[in-house]
Structure 1
Amino acid sequence: MLSRSHLKQALLCLIAISFASTTSAQVLECRDSNGKKLFASVCPKGSTQVREVEILSPPTETKAVKEYNARAKLRMLERDEEFRTRELKKQEADAGKRDNQRQIDNKCYEDKKKLSGLLIEGPIEVGKESDGTPIYMDDKKRLESIKDLGERLKACKFDSD
């Protein structure tokens, strides 16, 4: 187990090293009269300087590390591009599905309007003669249209009106 003084020395050493990495301060190794090591920028009274601690600058990237980092970045960009492409295709497919559903809903609405028009009592005018006299739908065709529209509307999903 480390004694209290060793912990203090280690702490001072770490502090000195951390300051050294952020600034270019001078770090000295000092010994006091009891032989304990101290690391400081100025040796305290009653201690002697043993040596100046050399602080190494962080290593520079080697060519291999730079190439690896460049390849890794390129792979990330490629993956990101693939992801964006997939997302765009997914959005386009979703938009296509929404458009198709909207067309189906519109067709159902139109069929519902036609059916309600056919269910009204009385003759239904489908056109005019050249002289302006109206042309009416016959009952057989009217019943066939009602049946056909009823079948088509079974597949429709309506919100509660």
Structure 2
Amino acid sequence: MASLLSIQLTGMSTNAHAQTQILECKDAQGRKILASRCPAGSTQVKEVEVTPVTNGLGQQPKAKVPTQSLWAKEIEFKERQKFKAEQEERARTLERADDEKCYQNKKKLVSLENGLPYKTGETKTGDPIFMEDQDRVKEIKKIKEKLSKCKSTD
């Protein structure tokens, strides 16, 4: 019994990846002995096949995946931060442009609604061209539609 325990301990301490030779031997009394070498006074019966160690689920242990170095992780983190900052800057730029358009439309609406002549251009001689009243009403409607899409900051 003691020899069987020593064989089990020997079997547990072996590396799963290294193949070991286990022999089944019989001693003079006919007892079965498992060992890497048959003891003196015993005869070899057969070689025992050793299966690789598996985890508790009967699966092979996973091969160790090489981990990313700390330096590479730091670079990826900084790239993600830079990309996020660029996206936020683009969003702020678009928001500022939209705010500016809304501001300009509000100014134009005030000047159209105050009833004073509204200059739309100049002739070749440099004389001003003023907006007609029916065009003014249409333009006010267009601007009010545009302003309805703006977020209110009044």
**Residues 1:76 and 1:155: Cα distance change in structure 2 (over 3 Å):** same
Once residues 147 and 107 of structure 1 are traced to their aligned partners in structure 2, the CA distance between those partners, rounded to angstroms, is 16
Cα displacement (A) at 1:128: 3.2
1:19 maps to what in 2?
A: none
Cα displacement (A) at 1:130: 3.6
TM-score, structure 1 normalization: 0.50
Once residues 87 and 78 of structure 1 are traced to their aligned partners in structure 2, the CA distance between those partners, rounded to angstroms, is 14
TM-score, structure 2 normalization: 0.52
Q: Are 2:78 and 1:78 aligned? A: no
Cα displacement (A) at 1:158: 3.1
Alignment of 1:6-21 (within 5 A): none
Paired residue for 1:94, among 50, 69, 88? 88
Once residues 77 and 132 of structure 1 are traced to their aligned partners in structure 2, the CA distance between those partners, rounded to angstroms, is 67
Alignment of 1:3-152 (within 5 A): 75-152=69-146
Tell me, which stretches of 5 or more residues in structure 2 are unaligned? 1-65
- Secondary structure, aligned partner of 1:122: coil
Q: Deviations over 1:60-118 (max 9, x none)?
A: xxxxxxxxxxx87x611111111110010000000000000000000110011011111
Q: CA RMSD in A?
A: 1.9
Cα displacement (A) at 1:154: 0.6
Once residues 131 and 92 of structure 1 are traced to their aligned partners in structure 2, the CA distance between those partners, rounded to angstroms, is 49
Cα displacement (A) at 1:131: 4.1
Once residues 105 and 87 of structure 1 are traced to their aligned partners in structure 2, the CA distance between those partners, rounded to angstroms, is 27
Instruction: Determine which structure has the larger helix proportion and give its number.
Output: 1
Q: Deviations over 1:13-38 (max 9, x none)?
A: xxxxxxxxxxxxxxxxxxxxxxxxxx
State the identity %: 34
Q: Are 2:147 and 1:153 aligned? A: yes
Once residues 144 and 97 of structure 2 are traced to their aligned partners in structure 1, the CA distance between those partners, rounded to angstroms, is 18
- Secondary structure, aligned partner of 2:69: helix
Q: Name the aligned partner's letter for residue 119 of structure 2.
A: E
Once residues 87 and 127 of structure 2 are traced to their aligned partners in structure 1, the CA distance between those partners, rounded to angstroms, is 50
